[in-house]
Amino acid sequence: MTQITLHNTRTRRKEAFTPIDHDNVRMYVCGPTVYDRAHLGNARPVVVFDVLYRLLRHVYGKDHVTYVRNFTDVDDKINARARDIQARGDTRDLNAIIRSLTDETIDWYHADMDALGALRPSVEPRATEFIGQMVGMIEGLVAKGHAYAAEGHVLFDVRSYPEYGRLSGRTVDDMIAGARVEVAPYKRDPMDFVLWKPSASDEPGWDSPWGRGRPGWHIECSAMADELLGASFDIHGGGIDLQFPHHENEIAQSCCAHPDAGFANFWLHNEMVQVEGKKMSKSLGNFFTVRDLLEQGWPGEVIRFVMLSTHYRKPMDWTEEKAREAERELSRFKSLAHQQRVGAPPEAIIKALSDDLNSHGALTCLREFYRQRDSVSMAAALDFLGLNLGGMAYWKDDSESITQRLEGLSEVLSALRKSAKSNKDFGPVDDFKRRLVSAGLEVRMSKEGVELVPGPDFNPSKLEGLE
């Protein structure tokens, strides 16, 4: 069996991955808070963990991997967006607006992530479907002395968990010294965090031993992971921005709720996304949603290719130059692979990805397949990497049409060459050949005939008028 190695954030080293149960490899990834379109940074963990999901399914079997990615559909940001909608004239009550908003946003998210070639997870729970499990976990933490009620809130007692800070590598005192948050008067310690909070009469709320209210963000993931994957599971993932406080808090409350279990054995975090070398920011005008890029004409395969070009543990920089190069490379790869049936992924691709998801190495394999004109490996690799969406969707013509055009142009050049041999005028041959080369084609002429091969800068649009 293929040995997968992954960098474990918690131990800060790369380790051989061995699942708790080979028949049910379990992974949890933090999903979106659903109140707006997913931006480019939201999409990166989707692509990263989609690659891992594909790899795990290949190694352990499609029916032996459970992938959970949640939707946070109860949150202060959602409430704030719903109030804005209400203020603009929507006459529905707040809860009706929230349900409509979260439903619509989940539909957007699915459409956008589908466009990036991401497989749907095994389970996509909504937080609001697991309120009972959250209340039960909080009750257990209070009973064990790890949480306390105060002024309608329930807070986790950070000092009750000595391991707090291990994931992020910081001590509680260091965190307090660097904190810039206003400390609520009912907190015993500035770092204590909310498990339950009261809800206003018009806000989403549920009955609990501490009054009508709603859960804090951190307890949501702990309760859903526990219910769907168990107290111990294999992999927990997300963006590096979630390492602290979200994942740190998840570990604390989950390990205190189940002291004999280990929660997640492996923690994986992807780095952040930049745009043209700068932090993505609305104030800088470089903030893009996935839908923005799709509507600008960048196909999902191109966006995915750019993301895979950088190792997940390094910052990824989205630039138009990278996107254009990705589009050119994909067009070359697909021109080679389009007539082949998809088979098992090449061993070189599996080997690269098994080394801590070395997606850059996997793309290097694609370039080697292209150099060797290995269409069988290319087709299988593109499919496995999720780069075969829509066939040749990013070309003006589909791949079959492009092939037919190149065959037709080969016949034209062959006819011109035949005429030139008779009349000794090679000017038309040279002129036609120059125009083919300017379109990015390599022209191979031999006794057997003429072959046109797309090169690195092949642009089908430049073939217009040549037939």
- The answer on whether 246 is annotated among ligand-binding residues is yes
User: What was the pLDDT predicted at 392?
Assistant: 39
Cα–Cα distance for residue pair 425/169, rounded to 1 Å: 76
Least Cα distance to 71 among 135, 109, 124, 129 occurs for 124
Q: Specify the 3-state DSSP secondary structure of 75.
A: coil
Q: Does residue 262 sit in the same domain as residue 284?
A: no
Cα–Cα distance for residue pair 224/46, rounded to 1 Å: 19
Report the DSSP beta bridge partners of residue 197. 214
Q: Does residue 202 sit in the same domain as residue 240?
A: yes
Of 232, 249, 270, which one is at a domain's C-terminal end? Answer: 270
- Which domain CATH number covers 244? 3.40.50.620
- The answer on whether 14 is annotated among ligand-binding residues is no
Give the residue numbers spanning the domain of 216: 5-270
> What does the pLDDT look like over 19-49, one tens digit per residue?
999 999 999 999 999 999 999 999 999 999 9
Sequence-distant (≥ 6) Cβ neighbours of residue 430 within 8 angstroms = none
Give domain status of residue 332, yes or no. yes
The whole model's pTM is what? Answer: 0.84
Sequence-distant (≥ 6) Cβ neighbours of residue 56 within 8 angstroms = 4, 25, 27, 65
Q: Which residues of 112-149 are buried (b: 16+ CB within 10 A; e: fewer)?
A: bbebbbbeebeeebbbbebbebbbebbbebbeeebbbb
- The answer on whether 365 is annotated among ligand-binding residues is no
List C-alpha distances in Å: 58 to 344, 389, 423: 9, 19, 60
Q: Does residue 299 sit in the same domain as residue 417?
A: no
Which conformational region is residue 234 in: left (phi greater than 0), alpha (psi within -120 to 50 degrees), or beta?
Answer: alpha
Q: Does residue 26 sit in the same domain as residue 171?
A: yes
User: What was the pLDDT predicted at 290?
Assistant: 96
Give domain status of residue 328, yes or no. yes
* Domain count across the chain: 3
Q: Does residue 169 sit in the same domain as residue 246?
A: yes
Give domain status of residue 357, yes or no. yes
> What does the pLDDT look like over 91-111, one tens digit per residue?
999 999 999 999 999 999 999
User: What was the pLDDT predicted at 178?
Assistant: 54
Q: Does residue 139 sit in the same domain as residue 260?
A: yes
Q: Does residue 107 sit in the same domain as residue 213?
A: yes
Percent helix / strand / coil, the chain, rounded to 5: 45, 15, 35
- Measured at the CA of 453, the angle between CA 452 and CA 454, to 5 degrees, comes to 125
Q: Does residue 354 sit in the same domain as residue 411?
A: no
Give domain status of residue 72, yes or no. yes
DSSP string of 96-146? HHHHHHHHHHHHHHHHHHHHTTPPPPSB--BGGGGHHHHHHHHHHHHHTTS
Cα–Cα distance for residue pair 77/36, rounded to 1 Å: 10
Do β-strands 213-215 and 193-198 pair in parallel, antiparallel, or remain unpaired? antiparallel
- The answer on whether 64 is annotated among ligand-binding residues is no
Could you say which DSSP state residue 171 is in? Answer: -
Per-residue pLDDT of the chain (467 residues; tens, 9 = 90+): 899 999 999 999 999 999 999 999 999 999 999 999 999 999 999 999 999 999 999 999 999 999 999 999 999 999 999 999 999 999 999 999 999 999 999 999 999 999 999 999 999 999 999 999 999 999 999 999 999 999 999 999 999 999 999 999 987 776 665 555 557 889 999 999 999 999 999 999 999 999 999 999 999 999 999 999 999 999 999 999 999 999 999 999 999 999 999 999 999 999 999 999 988 877 777 888 999 999 998 999 999 999 999 999 999 999 999 999 999 899 889 888 877 788 899 999 999 999 999 999 999 999 999 999 999 999 999 999 999 865 433 343 445 567 777 888 888 898 888 888 888 888 888 888 988 888 888 888 887 788 888 765 677 767 766 76
Give domain status of residue 394, yes or no. no
| Cα dihedral 80, 91, 70, 303 sign | negative
Of 248, 270, 292, which one is at a domain's C-terminal end? Answer: 270
In the chain, the percentage of residues whose pLDDT exceeds 90 is: 72
- The answer on whether 325 is annotated among ligand-binding residues is no
Q: Does residue 230 sit in the same domain as residue 313?
A: no
Q: Does residue 257 sit in the same domain as residue 343?
A: no
Give domain status of residue 160, yes or no. yes
> What does the pLDDT look like over 311-355, one tens digit per residue?
999 999 999 999 999 998 998 898 888 777 888 999 999 999 999
- Which domain CATH number covers 319? 1.10.730.10
Q: Specify the 3-state DSSP secondary structure of 435.
A: helix
Q: Does residue 209 sit in the same domain as residue 354?
A: no
Of 270, 297, 312, which one is at a domain's C-terminal end? Answer: 270
Give domain status of residue 392, yes or no. no
Give domain status of residue 395, yes or no. no
φ, ψ of residue 266 to 5 degrees: the values are -120, 135
Q: Does residue 259 sit in the same domain as residue 377?
A: no
